[in-house]
Chain A
């Protein structure tokens, strides 16, 4: 599904933030990307989301080489990837419902086609009664769940989540983790960037540990 081979990344003329990164993400897999703050977790996710291009090495996403990929192809591929940002990136002028429905709306589906799906998903993530409010009045946890729902609504092949439990209390973190596990059982590959050890302990999975720009892959029995 996604393959990194000796990938390096630097911003401008600065030092390499990622060096010789090699790993493979298989369909239906579950993994954590972990490491200390500033280790490059978000940069790695941005590479996975085609928001950045590697400065060296080979990165293949859905069999497309990131080095030669066309702009239009990137836009098409992003429809197969769901992403949850650390800062949620919800649009403040849209309601929760509209934010979650956004990926379907931009793909040109009529509202009547997805209304039930969006409503059901919002109920599933526990935001059924917060459907018509704007993000300004949502709590951190509610925003997080809305952002997750937006990433899931198109049933992506891979879900990327950047610190999805960073802004929520432990019970909600456990609830969100169960959401990801459930999603993974339904066939979606999940990549969670986190430095929350307790979260990783709750569900054993493969870990991509970032340290000084290098990635060390730690396999686990249940991965």
Chain B
């Protein structure tokens, strides 16, 4: 047989009676620091003194209780989504910027190639090609590559020890052109007057470069759209959850005559603040990530191959357009969240009614 312990209700005298006044003063002082939200949990009798302590009480508590929205989880989710969106947008910005630079460089220069033909004097052909090029309107310079430069270009494929005289190596002339230059006319004149001469305007390169940069841009924007869509869906679920958790609040607001726009504003205010905060955290993280990545990339590259790659692709730097794109993404994320929350609130309110 088991003996049940007696559960006694604590007597009123068991409450700490010690220096009640000074303790209440302490609570009142604490009340000033902690704000009125903590007051509800305190003992009834202390409210009066707390009230006096809290002279700054105001009647503008948020109508949607902040703790009713799953803030931390949503904040983390928005920050991650914003991080991914900013990363893809800044990557697109960097690649576009680089591709523009490459296209400008390639478009501003054409190459005359002169193949050795029969018994014609190769050096004379080069001189004539330079002359024709310099006489063409819009051409800024025409510089023939020396034998040594040509050999250096072939060195990676043929090595250092090959005999240049045994191979019919074409000579190249680098021609700087402007938008006024009629490349068709220059090509015709070279073909007619210089045996074995042809003009390479790098059109194939330009086309491939443009295609590559467009593809990367499309993929980047597509990924950003997916991230935005995932963010919007998350906000829809979070808003519905918040509204389900605050159904009694919404009902009371309706009963006291609140219009849908007013209720939507209450929820939107929550989600806009949360969205902007999360997006700013994600955006800052993405910019910091890019900055650190550029530092790491800049600190490497001591070998000739890495130097060559750097000279071809340039540095990995986030310029002002990248920062601007990241800032826009942060704002867009905040606005997207606020608008999504608002539309979800409207849709849900109609269902509730």
Residues of A within 8 A of B (CB): 49, 51, 71-72, 75-76, 78-79, 83, 85, 89, 91-95, 97-98, 101-103, 105-108, 111, 115, 118, 129-134, 136-137, 150, 154
Say yes or no: A98-B260 contact (C-beta < 8 A), given A78-B254, A89-B252, A133-B40: no
Say whether A101 contacts B59, CB under 8 Å. yes
Measured in the bound complex, the distance between the Cα atoms of B353 and A94 in whole Å is: 24
Most chain A CB inside 10 Å of its own CB: which residue of B48, B252, B350: B252
Measured in the bound complex, the distance between the Cα atoms of B255 and A85 in whole Å is: 10
Report chain B residues within 8 Å CB of A111. Answer: 58-60
Say whether A72 contacts B47, CB under 8 Å. no
Report chain B residues within 8 Å CB of A129. Answer: 48
Say whether B248 contacts A75, CB under 8 Å. no
Most chain A CB inside 10 Å of its own CB: which residue of B44, B63, B257, B262: B257
Report chain B residues within 8 Å CB of A93. Answer: 37, 61, 65
Say whether A98 contacts B47, CB under 8 Å. no
The 6 nearest A-B residue pairs measured at CB:
A134-B40, A79-B257, A106-B258, A103-B256, A93-B65, A78-B257
Report chain A residues within 8 Å CB of B253. Answer: 102, 106
Interface presence of B307 (CB below 8 A): no
Say whether B249 contacts A95, CB under 8 Å. no
Interface presence of B259 (CB below 8 A): yes
Q: How many Å from the CB of B194 to the closest CB on chain A?
A: 83
Report chain A residues within 8 Å CB of B210. Answer: none
Say whether B248 contacts A89, CB under 8 Å. yes
B251 to chain A: closest residue by CB: A89
B266 to chain A: closest residue by CB: A106
B249 to chain A: closest residue by CB: A91
Say whether B40 contacts A102, CB under 8 Å. no
Report chain A residues within 8 Å CB of B37. Answer: 93
Indicate with 1 or 0, residue by residue over B223-258, a CB within 8 angstroms of chain A CB atoms: 000000000000000000000000011011111111
Report chain A residues within 8 Å CB of B39. Answer: 132-134
Q: List 11 A-B contacts (CB under 8 A).
A: A75-B257, A83-B255, A93-B65, A94-B63, A95-B61, A106-B257, A111-B59, A132-B39, A133-B47, A137-B40, A137-B44
Interchain CB contact (< 8 A) of B59 among A97, A130, A136: A97
Indicate with 1 or 0, residue by residue over B244-287, a CB within 8 angstroms of chain A CB atoms: 00001101111111111010000000000000000000000000
A133 to chain B: closest residue by CB: B47
Say whether B44 contacts A98, CB under 8 Å. no
Q: Knowing that A132-B39, A154-B257 touch, tell me 15 more A-B residue pairs with CB under 8 angstroms.
A: A51-B255, A71-B350, A78-B256, A79-B257, A89-B248, A89-B251, A91-B63, A91-B252, A102-B256, A111-B60, A118-B59, A132-B47, A132-B54, A137-B40, A137-B44
Measured in the bound complex, the distance between the Cα atoms of B65 and A98 in whole Å is: 13
Interface presence of B217 (CB below 8 A): no
Say yes or no: A72-B259 contact (C-beta < 8 A), given A132-B47, A137-B40: yes
Say whether B61 contacts A98, CB under 8 Å. yes
Report chain A residues within 8 Å CB of B353. Answer: 71
Most chain A CB inside 10 Å of its own CB: which residue of B36, B44, B248, B259: B259
Report chain A residues within 8 Å CB of B36. Answer: 95, 132
Report chain B residues within 8 Å CB of A136. Answer: 40
A72 to chain B: closest residue by CB: B259
Measured in the bound complex, the distance between the Cα atoms of B58 and A91 in whole Å is: 16
Measured in the bound complex, the distance between the Cα atoms of B65 and A154 in whole Å is: 24
Interface presence of B213 (CB below 8 A): no
B67 to chain A: closest residue by CB: A93
A134 to chain B: closest residue by CB: B40
Report chain A residues within 8 Å CB of B30. Answer: none
Report chain A residues within 8 Å CB of B96. Answer: none
Measured in the bound complex, the distance between the Cα atoms of B57 and A132 in whole Å is: 8
Measured in the bound complex, the distance between the Cα atoms of B65 and A165 in whole Å is: 30
Say yes or no: A94-B61 contact (C-beta < 8 A), given A71-B353, A89-B252, A132-B54: yes
Interface presence of B51 (CB below 8 A): yes
Measured in the bound complex, the distance between the Cα atoms of B37 and A114 in whole Å is: 22
Report chain A residues within 8 Å CB of B54. Answer: 132
Q: How many Å from the CB of B69 to the closest CB on chain A?
A: 13
Q: How many Å from the CB of B303 to the closest CB on chain A?
A: 64
Interface residues of B in 40-71 (CB under 8 A from A): 40, 44, 47-48, 50-51, 54, 57-61, 63, 65
Report chain B residues within 8 Å CB of A131. Answer: 51
Report chain A residues within 8 Å CB of B40. Answer: 92, 133-134, 136-137
